[in-house]
């Protein structure tokens, strides 16, 4: 969680750029996660998008 706390809130994310987040897993951890990103921009407040990632 430390990596997330250090990087967010992220001040500016330009189109086609990304953010790398380190994740640690242990035996018995889930292999699929749902991530929900919420952000404000010049066009709209509270944009939302969900992603499903597999490790």
What is the tens place of the pLDDT at every residue in 20-48? Answer: 888 777 888 888 999 898 888 889 999 99
The yes-or-no verdict on residue 1 having pLDDT over 70 is no
Mean pLDDT of 45-53: 94
Residue 6 pLDDT > 90, yes or no?
no
Domain boundaries, the chain: 2-54
Tell me the β-bridge partners of 47: 39
Instruction: Please answer whether residues 55 and 31 qualify as being in contact, where contact means their C-beta atoms are separated by less than 8 angstroms.
Output: yes
Please report, to the nearest 10 degrees, the dihedral formed by the alpha carbons of residues 12, 15, 32, 8 taken in order. 0
Specify the higher pLDDT residue, 9 or 16: 16
* Ranges assigned E (strand) in the chain: 32-39, 47-54
Instruction: Record the pTM.
Output: 0.58
10 versus 44: which is more confidently predicted?
A: 44
**40: which 2 tokens?**
């404000």
* DSSP secondary structure code for residue 9 in this structure: S
């Amino acid at each position: 969680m430390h990596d997330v706390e250090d990087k967010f809130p992220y001040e500016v994310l330009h189109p086609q750029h990304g953010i790398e987040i380190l994740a640690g897993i242990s035996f018995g951890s889930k292999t699929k996660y749902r991530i929900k990103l919420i952000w404000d921009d010049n066009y709209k407040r509270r944009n939302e998008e969900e992603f499903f990632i597999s490790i």
